[in-house]
Copies of this chain bind each other. A is one copy, B any other.
Amino acid sequence: MKPIQVGLLGIGTVGSGVFHVLKRNQAEIQRRAGRGIEIAMVADLDVARAQSIVGDGVRVVNDARQVIANPDIDIVVELIGGYGIAKALVMEAIDAGKHVVTANKALLAVHGTEIFAAAQAKGVMVAFEAAVAGGIPIIKALREGLTANQIQWVAGIINGTTNFILSEMRDKGLDFDVVLKEAQRLGYAEADPTFDIEGVDAAHKATIMSAIAFGIPVQFDKAHVEGITKLEAADIRYAEQLGYRIKLLGITKRAQEGIELRVHPCLVPAKRLIANVEGAMNAVVVQGDAVGTTLYYGKGAGSEPTASAVIADLVDVTRLHTADPLNRVPHLAFQPASMSDLPVLPMSEVVTSYYLRLRVADEAGVLAKVTGLLAEAGISIDAVLQREAEEGSRQTDLIILTHSTREGTMNDAIAQMQGLPTVLAPIVRIRKEELA
């Protein structure tokens, strides 16, 4: 059978990984897919560079629309990124009846509903394993491996840059700014690291997972997004003393009244496997009502790990593209006609437990006042850590772990505590998840 013809839009880090892995493992992949998979055409603005990667045998153009218009191309792989031209090209490819494989989490988290509807109408597939957690086949696990389950929650370390920074902060006791510079020097963080360190990248991925876990539309605009830029070494140290690690988690959870969708730093018990995921590695924990807890771990970024996911999609599409569209796996795990209208909850409605750090005056009655306010708010306390004031200082840190409460309730309680004259600095609040 004639090899499947693939057109690549953009051949940067991931694109060249796709090209090299497809070439190196050609025989192995054909033995699995039942036919060859070939990159037949590449579009990239830097034609010379692209040509030097793929060699003379592959046609390189600088206009992506030529790839889409080529009737020999079966599958278009979009690796341009962003919401702009990438969106137009994906929509045009669908319109031209091409199957699409993309690693573009930003695009899908924001415009997924429109894109999947167009693909559905046209009877083509849009596959996106590479969009979440790089090489880890988490989309497939959620969408196909765990179909028996009511998914209860998904929580993941889904941004390698921030996990690298947090690991270094803990290992070396350094503050965020110092470690960020080091991460940039080592290539773990980009020159403009905003999307990573502010949690936006993780929120894109969490948004996609929320859709396929619960059968809701992708709703990035409803996600609560909080990064790690305000984390201090002191909090990582206190958390450690209490038996916790701080991780940036993407969390989506089925609650009574709706779906939680949030990215923020989070205390996790140190004994959980996910708490021990270090450096730039990713891991996702999925809780299902039948299967219990499962965890998926691997490289969340990089040329070949991401290529591994792109190519897995190419093999899937190759296997399924001649099948009746009704027999395919639905894009968002649930049949388009069976989507749920469960709302994404505002953050004030989220129920979780908390780590609080209060800088307080070292004098009698402070603890009583603070815990009195929490009690009034109906927030119960799990643990308290109060250090003796440092020699010569009249201030000290008061650490409180609470049991679960509504975020709105906690916000009010924090405002009240902040008003106490003995509370000397802005209260630090980090959410805590037991993940059990």
Contacts and interface: CB of A to CB of B under 8 A. Distances in A.
Contacts of A144: 137, 140, 144, 312, 315-316
Interface string A290-320: 1111111111000011011111100110011
A147 interface: yes
B290 A25 contact: yes
A288 B334 CA distance: 30
B312 A323 contact: no
Given A22-B148, A147-B316, A295-B298, 4 more contacts: A32-B334, A144-B144, A291-B309, A292-B305
A299 B292 contact: yes
16 contacts: A21-B148, A24-B289, A33-B147, A135-B290, A140-B144, A144-B315, A273-B273, A289-B304, A290-B307, A291-B299, A291-B305, A292-B304, A292-B305, A295-B295, A295-B297, A295-B298
A70 interface: no
A96 interface: no
Interface stretch (A53-61, A175-183, A325-333): A325-333
Contacts of A296: 294-297
Contacts of A276: 273, 276
A378 to B, nearest CB: 33
A327 B333 contact: no
A401 to B, nearest CB: 24
Contacts of A309: 148, 291
Contacts of A308: 146, 148-149, 288, 290-291
A297 to B, nearest CB: 4
Nearest to A18: B148
Interface of A: 17, 21-22, 24-25, 28-34, 129, 135-137, 140-141, 144-150, 215, 273, 276-277, 288-299, 304-305, 307-312, 315-316, 319-324, 326-330, 333-335, 338, 340
A143 to B, nearest CB: 8
Contact of A291 (B32, B135, B328): B135
A149 B312 CA distance: 9
A34 B328 CA distance: 10
B148 A307 contact: yes
A326 B35 CA distance: 11
Contacts of A136: 294
A17 B154 CA distance: 23
Given A129-B145, A297-B273, A328 B334 contact: no
Nearest to A28: B150
Contacts of A297: 273, 293-297
Question: Which 7 pairs of residues, A with B, have the shortest CB-CB distance?
Answer: A137-B145, A148-B311, A294-B298, A135-B291, A31-B338, A291-B308, A295-B297
A333 B316 CA distance: 12
A291 B273 contact: no
Nearest to A134: B291
B327 A304 contact: no
Contacts of A140: 137, 140-141, 144-145
Given A17-B290, A140-B140, A292-B299, A34 B312 contact: no
Contact of A323 (B150, B295, B307, B324): B324
A147 B326 contact: no
A37 to B, nearest CB: 10
B288 A277 contact: no
Contacts of A150: 24-25, 28
Contacts of A295: 295-298
Contacts of A215: 28, 31-32
Given A290-B25, A304-B290, A34 B330 contact: yes
A312 B25 contact: no
Given A295-B298, A296-B296, A327-B323, A32 B290 contact: no
B319 A329 contact: yes
A27 to B, nearest CB: 9
B148 A137 contact: no
Nearest to A296: B296
